[in-house]
Copies of this chain bind each other. A is one copy, B any other.
């Protein structure tokens, strides 16, 4: 069977002249890589693979030592252990990195890591995987803004496929998906902003059923 080759060259994608200060990852950094990926499971691996295909080096942190030691073969680094450990973050040169992908599946360890990184490495930008809305709110409480809920993207793609399966044109389905995504994201931010700290705590302890019921009502009637 014919394969589609993955021919991606970073040079073709980055506008070096226009943004020369931004592009430091290919200048042969000796100590630190521009990107740290904490949690190298199903989620973090996608960024790892895409960066590898583009020859952009990264440093991975993963608690499972059997998982991914081969990533070294591609010029990357990997540190084993709990990414919320300050000594490990220092060893991984979190002080030199620009981007920290927080892709840990366990919400508690994710939040603990986020707090440590925020405190000790204020210059790094955190991109965070969230398990669900509640986890997303907790990340937002730590002033993290670049968040993706881990099943949202695929679930929305699937909803679009189903609309097409029901007879909707692809263009209309994409439009419905886009409207839904914008609406849902604005709800996420609105819920966050509407709460005082005390109320937030109550909101977080609400059952998921209650929140989902509210979402259905808002989707339909707002």
Q: Report which A residues bind B (CB closer than 8 A).
A: 1, 3-8, 12-15, 19, 22-23, 25, 34-35, 42-54, 56, 66-68, 70-71, 73-74, 98-99, 101, 103, 125, 127, 129, 132, 146, 148-159, 161-163, 165-169, 172-173, 175-177, 179-180, 182-183, 186-187, 189-190, 193-194, 207-209, 212-213, 215-216, 218-220, 222
B161 close to A150 (CB less than 8 A): no
Set of chain B residues within 8 Å of A149, measured between Cβ atoms: 42, 154
Q: Which residue of B lies closest to A175 (CB)?
A: B13
A179 close to B6 (CB less than 8 A): yes
A34 vs B159: C-alpha distance in the bound complex, in angstroms? 14
The 8 Å CB contact of A6, one of B103, B129, B167, B222, is B222
Provided the pairs A5-B222, A53-B220 are in contact, do residues A25 and B166 lie with their beta carbons within 8 angstroms?
yes
Q: Which residue of B lies closest to A208 (CB)?
A: B67
Q: In the complex, given contacts A22-B167, A149-B154, what are 20 additional A-B residue pairs having Cβ atoms less than 8 angstroms apart? A: A6-B220, A8-B179, A14-B167, A15-B169, A35-B166, A43-B155, A45-B155, A46-B155, A50-B156, A50-B177, A56-B166, A67-B208, A68-B209, A74-B216, A74-B220, A98-B165, A103-B155, A127-B162, A151-B151, A154-B154
A25 vs B162: C-alpha distance in the bound complex, in angstroms? 13
The 9 lowest CB-CB distance pairs between A and B, nearest first, are: A153-B153, A22-B167, A153-B154, A46-B155, A6-B183, A47-B159, A53-B219, A13-B172, A148-B154
Provided the pairs A127-B165, A166-B99 are in contact, do residues A47 and B193 lie with their beta carbons within 8 angstroms?
no
Q: Which residue of B lies closest to A46 (CB)?
A: B155
Set of chain B residues within 8 Å of A156, measured between Cβ atoms: 46, 50, 153
Most B Cβ at <10 Å: residue of A169, A215, A216: A216
Provided the pairs A43-B151, A46-B156 are in contact, do residues A23 and B186 lie with their beta carbons within 8 angstroms?
no
